[in-house]
Amino acid sequence: MARYLSWAAPIHKWRVSRDTCPLCGKSYFVSLNADPFMTRCLRCKCNVTNLSLIPIVVEHCKRDYKKSAYELSSYGCTLEFLRRNFERVQSSEYYPGKGLGTLVEGIDNQDVQKLTYSDSSFDIITSNQVFEHVPDDIRGFSECFRVLRTGGALVFTVPWYDTKETTRKASIVNGEVVFDGEPEYHDSRIDGANSSPVFHHHSKNDICDRVKSVGFSKVFLREVRISKYQGSSQLVLYAIK
């Protein structure tokens, strides 16, 4: 929490608004900065970046939740929404060095680059801030395409960059992470602060083409606004098989 507050604007610039949370309904939001990631619902404690996937899931399913869903993490507001509404929900984490498809402390161990699930297993796959940490993100998109049923959707967010194209920041060489330039890490709820290497800076200008290249029939980059003071809209990738 201290690190989170260190990114905030001076307290006199904080803003509170009354808005509708996609997870918990009418609520108050506090914006510590004019940014979706720094704007949080005071009831469910989720930030707008993560909450922004839910309206896209609702739109895709047309509130018909008699489906199966997969979230690429074991916590968070998107997973909570899926568990409340879908008949079957799978979640996972990635534990390097552990057997894929096995349980680690009760959590399914999966690598999105080589999922152990069968073809056409899910109707919805969601992901919050994961694909920037995947060495071969295209392989990850391809695996999501494989395990989705026809008509299913992949819905995700990553940190977006307004560059011409996605930039590779690191690679795996002989089993080790090798950075191209200054090393960059993000926090992980499992491994702690500055523990997850960043492999890509994803460009909002080429991401649709990158995801569509693995076979998705339609790919959109949607703008989602939830809170009055969130600043810019949150961009959410929405791909249909």
pLDDT digits (tens, 9 = 90+) for 152-168: 999 999 999 999 999 99
DSSP string, the chain: -HHHHHTSPPGGG-EEEEEEETTTEEEEEEESSSSGGGEEETTT--BHHHHTHHHHHHHHHTT---SEEEESSS-SHHHHHHHHH-SEEEE-B--TTSPTTSEETTEEB--TTS--SPTT-EEEEEEES-GGG-TTHHHHHHHHHHHEEEEEEEEEE--EE-SSS-EE-EEEETTEEEESSS--EEEETTTEEEEEE--EEEETTTHHHHHHTTT-SEEEEEEE--STT--SPEEEEEEE-
Q: Is the confidence at residue 39, as pLDDT, over 90?
A: yes
Name the burial class of residue 86, with classes exposed (0-12), middle (13-18) and buried (19+) by CB atoms within 10 angstroms of its CB. buried
Structural contact between residues 21 and 27, judged by C-beta atoms closer than 8 angstroms: yes
Per-residue confidence at 62, pLDDT binned at 50, 70, 90?
confident
Check: pTM over 0.85? Answer yes or no.
Answer: yes
For the chain, what is the mean pLDDT? 94
pLDDT at residue 36 tops 80: yes
pLDDT exceeds 90 at position 133: yes
Per-residue pLDDT, averaged over 31-54, amounts to 96
Lowest mean pLDDT among 7-16, 159-168, 200-209: 7-16
The CATH class for the domain spanning 51-224+233-240 reads: alpha beta
Per-residue confidence at 54, pLDDT binned at 50, 70, 90?
very high
Nearest to 124 by CA among 171, 163, 69, 176: 69
Distances (CA, A) of 233 to 38, 77, 208, 226, 228: 12, 18, 18, 8, 10
- The predicted-structure confidence for 80-131, as pLDDT tens digits, reads as follows 999 999 999 999 999 999 999 999 999 999 999 999 999 999 999 999 999 9
